[in-house]
Structure formats: C-alpha cells, structure tokens
Structure 1
Amino acid sequence: MSGKILVVDDSEDIREVIEVVLNSEGYEVHTAESGEHALRLLDINHDIDLIILDIMMPGKSGFEICQDIRKATTAPILFLSAKSHIEDKERGLSVGGDDYLLKPFSPIELIARVKALLRRYSVYQGKDQNPKSEIIRIRELLIHPTSGEVWIANRPVSLRHMEYKLLVYLATNRGRILSAQELYESIWQEPFLPVSNNTVVAHIKNLRQQIEHNPKEPRFIITVWGRGYQIV
C-alpha cells in the first residue's frame, strides 16, 4: 500500500523515527515541526493521504491545528500523545481526529494503525466502491455511495471518512436499532472494548453536527436509550 503521509511533531528525533519506519513500508513522507508549518505544506500538497499529528507542541496544540486542517482536507488524522486520559481521546475525536496512538509506540503498532486508516480512507474516496450502488435517499438527505458525496437539503456536506462510513451503515440499516458494539465492530473492524463506546459517541455527535438542523433535537439519527442508534 502506498500513500503520502504528513508527520507533524516538534521532536526531530520522533519525526526521523516515524519517517524511517514509514519509508520502509513504501510510503512517501513529508515532515513538519509545527502545526503552522503543516498548514503551509498542506497548501502545497493537496494529495496528502494521512496526517500523523502530535498533540503537545509549542504554539497551537494538535487539537487546535486539527480543526484548521479539517478546513483543508478530509484525510484521516492519527493523533500522537503521551497522555492516556480518556478525555484527551474524546477531545481528539471530537475536533476531527480519526485515531489516537500513545507514546511510546512500537513500529509494528504504528504501521498497523496507518494501514487501517489508509484502507478506510481508500474506501471512502470511492476506490473500492461498487459502481452499481444506488443513491440512498432519506427525505432531504442524499447519500451517493459511488462518489462518496452527501447532500442535505440541496447543500453538500463534507464528512470525514469514518463519519461517512458510519452514516452509510446507519442508512443501509434504516429502521434497525444498532448497538454501539455492532457499529464499532462493523465500521472500525476491531473488537469492542468499554472505551470504544466513546469513539462511537464522538462520531455520532460530529455526524449530527453536519446533517441535523438542530443536533440537540435530531430528526435523522435517533438515540434509543439503552439500546443504540437508528436512522428513521
């Protein structure tokens, strides 16, 4: 699997280690020592496939830079952090991140996370879509499986790839109540752990912010307390 990866970390040693590991797997790696530098690189390189972003950096934090990056690209973002608090993971997902890797990390774990995110992003971009897929219509919500486009009330919606996969799964199972465990294991394709529920909750929240007129009173994605979620 090939791809362009941007590594953002204020530690030169960490940037070099990650670059060596990713180069050994055939990835093209670009590096930045700050969030501001990363944003300048993204202005030049519009085809970055993945961003590895440190949280604790001088100037703007990784959380703040993530929000800026989301204005420029939907490419997956893998946060790096020495902090293991659940609140930090939740915040990372809520501001636009896709995964969270603790320092210190092993090269094997890094490569596994990178490959998983790039594989999901490839599907989201339409490279593995079924060309015969039909448009999914739920009232004023339109989902185009072949192009990955989503429209709400004739307005295009920009979703991150995991948000898109979550929406499609909910929409293709319209009317069914889907537990957090089913959603997580079907979409993230990993075993469900207690902390996995926070990932699902954060992505549901982000998705509602994009498609609901009033996210606090959702019309599309409904919470069925104690059981899960459904699109109605």
Structure 2
Amino acid sequence: MPVVLCVDGDEEVRDWLDLVLGEAGYEVHFAEMASDVVKPLRDNFRLDLLITDFEMSEESISGLALAKLARNSQPDLPIVFLSELSDLEEKVEEIARPMLILKKPIGRDALVAAIRGFLGTEI
C-alpha cells in the first residue's frame, strides 16, 4: 500500500484528503504544519508521495522548503503541490521532477486519477 504524507494547515482539507485517499487505498499520514514533519523526514521516514500545500499559513517553513527537505532524504520522491495560486509553476521550477501541481479546489475523482496517473499505480 503506497504511503502518502499530506501537509496542509486547513483541517477541512486534511479531513477530505484522509477520506478520499483512504478510500482509494493509500496509507495516509497527516501534518498540520511543515515543521511537524521535519524530524521524521530527517530520520528517513519512508513515503511514496508527499502532498503539500504551497502556501503554509502562519508557518516559517513553506511548502517549497518542505519539498526540498523531503528530497534531501528521498531524492526521487514524487511531490504534489496543492495551491490556489495560478503562477505556481514559476515558483517551483527549482524542484526537479517527479513533481505535480494541482489547483485547489480539486474534485475527488480528479485528485485520485491525478495521483494514480502520477504514481503509475492502480490500487
């Protein structure tokens, strides 16, 4: 079962991701803030996908900084940025592929299809 780490400051978004990804067959772990996962990532917590909000409210660590940190421990880790920003492509160009940007709001079926296609998995 693929392990997904979702980092988003919005409890409703985390609850929705839990429901959608859990029903789709993923093992999902959550954090409200990027700073909550710095130590586990540095301690080599293994995951198959990182989903992070790009704009972290009231957070000193951005989604971009979190992605860089995660890639330090897992260089080929697939990363999905969730964002309401339309110009995010320019802001994350320093993050190498595999990387995907999904615009908020996104529907359940579109999210699952995007992640399955991105990971090349069918659960």
Task: Give the Cα separation in 2 of the matches to 1:69 and 1:47.
Answer: 10
Measured against aligned partners, the alpha-carbon deviations of 1:111-170 in whole angstroms (never above 9, x if no partner) come to: 1111122218xxxxxxxxxxxxxxxxxxxxxxxxxxxxxxxxxxxxxxxxxxxxxxxxxx
Q: Which amino acid aligns with 2:77?
A: A
TM-score under structure 2 normalisation?
0.85
Alignment of 1:26-175 (within 5 A): 26-43=25-42, 46-57=45-56, 58-73=59-74, 74-85=76-87, 88-96=88-96, 98-119=99-120
Q: What secondary structure is seen at the aligned counterpart in 2 of 1:26? A: coil
C-alpha RMSD over aligned residues = 1.8
Distance 1:99 1:93, change over 3 A: farther
Q: Any stretches of 5+ residues in structure 1 without a counterpart?
A: 121-232
CA–CA distance in structure 2, aligned partners of residues 45 and 31 of structure 1: 16
1:44 and 1:16 map into 2 onto residues whose CA distance is 26
Task: For 2:93 and 2:8, locate their aligned partners in 1 and report how far apart those are by CA, in whole Å.
Answer: 19
- Shift of the 41–12 alpha-carbon distance from structure 1 to 2, 3 Å rule, reads farther
8 Å Cα contact 2:3-2:27 kept in structure 1: yes
CA contact (8 A) 2:44 2:73 kept: no
Between structure 1 and structure 2, the one with the greater Rg is 1
Tell me the matched-pair count.
Answer: 117
Quote the offset at 1:42 in angstroms.
2.6
3-state SS of paired residue (1:17): helix
Does the aligned pair in 1 maintain the 2:52–2:80 contact within 8 Å? Answer: yes
Q: Is the 8 A contact 1:67 1:96 kept in 2?
A: no
Instruction: Report the secondary structure of 1:71's partner residue.
Output: helix
CA–CA separation in structure 2 for the residues paired with 1:45 and 1:24: 26
Instruction: Report the Cα distance in structure 1 between the residues aligned to 2:29 and 2:43, rounded to whole angstroms.
Output: 12
Cα distance in 1 for partners of 2:110, 2:94 equals: 23
**How far off its partner does 1:59 sit?**
1.5
SS of residue matched to 1:94: coil
Greater RCO (CA < 8 Å, at least 6 residues apart): 2
Partner of 1:19: 18
Task: Say if 2:7 and 2:32, in contact at 8 Å, map to a contact too.
Answer: yes
- Distance (whole Å) between structure 1 residues aligned to residue 86 and residue 112 of structure 2: 20
The percent identity for this pair of structures is: 32
1: CA distance, partners of 2:120 / 2:84: 26
Moved over 4 A (4+): none
Matched residue type, 2:91: R
Partner of 1:154: none
